[in-house]
Structure 1
Amino acid sequence: MLARTLRLSALCAAAIAIAPAPARAQPPAACRTIRLGHGGWLDNQVQNAVFGAVVAPFGYQVRIEPARLKTIYHRLATGRLDVYLQDWRPDNWMSSVTAIRDSDVARKRIAVAGTDLSGARHTLAVPAYLYRAGLKDFADIHKFAGQLDHTIYGIEPDNVGDRQLLSMIRRNTDGLGGFHLVQAGAGGMLRALAAKIRHHEPILFLGWQPDAMNVEYRIRYLGGGGAAFGHDQGAARSLILTRAGYAAQCPAIGGLLHRFRLPVRAESRMMYDIQVKREAVGPVAAAWIAAHPAWLKRMRAPLASPARG
């Protein structure tokens, strides 16, 4: 999938068709095709589908370009990609990769166009029944060590959260010294979560939102975590990156990117419909947009301007 370029129309034709705009002049040729990076994550796919549905009636064509994160940053910096809608902060990927991005932003080879997601999280979580039992904070974990079988379910070695947890285990931070971190990938963690909740058993895992798990299960994020996960239950956000000069060259799209934002709960819900209910991305995006006409009107305001580009 990462080796080929996909047309958004193949993913979300239904979304594009939901709200046709009146006939308008075509956008400038240099702005007509928007090259969107896709890092392979479902929430990024949802963002891209919704974005494509917003711009399509105005004569824009979105071209999805799947690539690894390092390649996405390189293409933005060299002008071979226009927009990337999911630059997660704080970073949850390899520091060697994000250091490249930070350098290119500092050198103005990559621009930050806006924040398209706030209220995201990436920290330890538990089922609601375990939270009610008293496991509400990192400082409470050691009290439940036996019930948890001294086990934390992480994601994978390259994940920043996993590395933070391993550091806490080595340093015995919050009494985690005797814990074991399971790194079986996101799929392995989610399978363990489903099994534990099905049997109403304790589980401590590295969770995040947006994600379908936040709709499918009643889970709670722990307080604490301090230097490792921040003091606001692992609060995170997603920034929009563009190639240098893109907003000036295509001001209408730049105006849209400045205001483009999806509620974290909405993304989780759409991901649930896709992952769990097995619905296609396009119809899911279309249904959400159709249910939020005020949001759509606000997003399309820069595109409707006579001076758009």
Structure 2
Amino acid sequence: MKKFLLGSMMAMLVAASIGCSSEEQASSEAAEESGNENGETITFGVTPWTSTVPPTQIVSLILQDMGYEVQETNADVGSVFMGLSRGDLDVFMDAWFPMHHVHMERYGDTLVDTAVSYPEAETGWVVPNYMEDINTVEDIIGNEHLFNNEMFGIEEGTSAQGEINEMIEELGLDITQINSSEGGMLAQAQRLMQQEEPVIFFGWRPHTMFNKFDIKVLSNDAGFFETSSVHVITNHELQDRAPDAFEFLSNWNISIDDVEELIVKIEEEGQDPEEVAREWIDNNQDKVNEMIGN
């Protein structure tokens, strides 16, 4: 009887071992089939700006090719930085410096300034070129009534909103900032430009507005809206959790001209963002291989 029980137990152990092995193999095969060979998911924060989409799409596809799962979370920029600091998000592809230094200072060691995506991105107040006498922000002083004492900005809570209000106060401008989404801001600006009316709004490169409208960025003597560089920011734990992904991200870069061209294809021509990103990867495979360390 003891021999029978011992034999039965051994058979059950062998069967259980085989079952576990089969389940592990099936799980491994499923992971490989899904492309998640690393067993890691990398989550991107995505702001509602057209400049965020192309780099995020390209990098997401490359990471998937490397064997990672990727997810995207849409949020305003303040929430993206908070999510990075908490570890809810891993990557943000569209941090603008020096504008976003305030977020880096706030969250300190929880964030890593990982790479410069592209430098020399122009940012500031924009007016149409038919306003020949308005070339600096200082030219607006005393002429605020021409603009109905308004300028149009992007959504509330952004660093741009704060810097605009600081500039208005420092220069003593009788101007009120009207905040809305990027699309809402541009719709209002376009409506006024179609009538060749005076209008001020917030602009930046890369963006299709510079392809679509005849506009100029106003300079200012007060030092607001310096030329920006666009950076990749990661959560500080990513380097240890996914070192090869972090290495790729630390090598990431793209030209501002490429980004604007991709935005035009997506926003103006209505092409699928993933297909546009895949086309860029195929046309820049040597660059991609260099960035991932091949």
Query: Scaled by the length of structure 1, what TM-score is found?
Result: 0.71
Measure, in 1, the Cα distance between the counterparts of 2:78 and 2:180.
23
Q: Which structure has the highest helix share of the two?
A: 2
**8 Å Cα contact 2:125/2:217 also seen in 1:** yes
Deviation of 1:249 (Å): 4.9
Aligned residue pairs total 261
Give the aligned residue type for 1:256: F
**8 Å Cα contact 1:256/1:300 also seen in 2:** no
1:29 maps onto 2:21 in alignment: no
Alignment of 1:203-214 (within 5 A): 203-214=199-210
Deviation of 1:86 (Å): 2.2
Aligned match of 1:19: none
Measure, in 2, the Cα distance between the counterparts of 1:65 and 1:157.
19
Higher CA-based Rg: 2
> Partner of 1:195: helix, strand, or coil?
helix
Aligned match of 1:192: 188
Structure 2 CA distance for partners of 1:69 and 1:154, relative to 1, 3 Å: closer
Aligned match of 1:222: 218
Q: Deviations over 1:225-264 (max 9, x none)?
A: 524323xxxx112222222253355443233212212222
RMSD between superposed Cα atoms in Å? 3.1
> Partner of 1:152: helix, strand, or coil?
strand
**8 Å Cα contact 1:215/1:269 also seen in 2:** no
> Partner of 1:202: helix, strand, or coil?
coil
Measure, in 2, the Cα distance between the counterparts of 1:161 and 1:67.
16
Aligned match of 1:116: 117
Aligned match of 2:26: none
Aligned match of 1:127: 128
> Partner of 2:125: helix, strand, or coil?
strand
Q: Aligned to 2:105, which of 72, 78, 102?
A: 102
**8 Å Cα contact 1:213/1:272 also seen in 2:** no
1:300 maps onto 2:292 in alignment: no
Structure 2 CA distance for partners of 1:62 and 1:139, relative to 1, 3 Å: same
Query: Scaled by the length of structure 2, what TM-score is found?
Result: 0.74
Structure 2 CA distance for partners of 1:217 and 1:269, relative to 1, 3 Å: farther
Unaligned runs of at least 5 residues, structure 1: 1-25
Alignment of 1:1-309 (within 5 A): 29=38, 32-91=40-99, 98=103, 101-105=104-108, 108-130=109-131, 133-142=132-141, 144-171=143-170, 173=171, 176=173, 178-230=174-226, 235-290=227-282, 292-293=283-284, 296-303=285-292, 305=294
Measure, in 2, the Cα distance between the counterparts of 1:303 and 1:187.
35
Give the aligned residue type for 2:292: L
Unaligned runs of at least 5 residues, structure 2: 1-34
Measure, in 2, the Cα distance between the counterparts of 1:182 and 1:77.
30
Measure, in 2, the Cα distance between the counterparts of 1:269 and 1:193.
22
Give the aligned residue type for 2:38: A
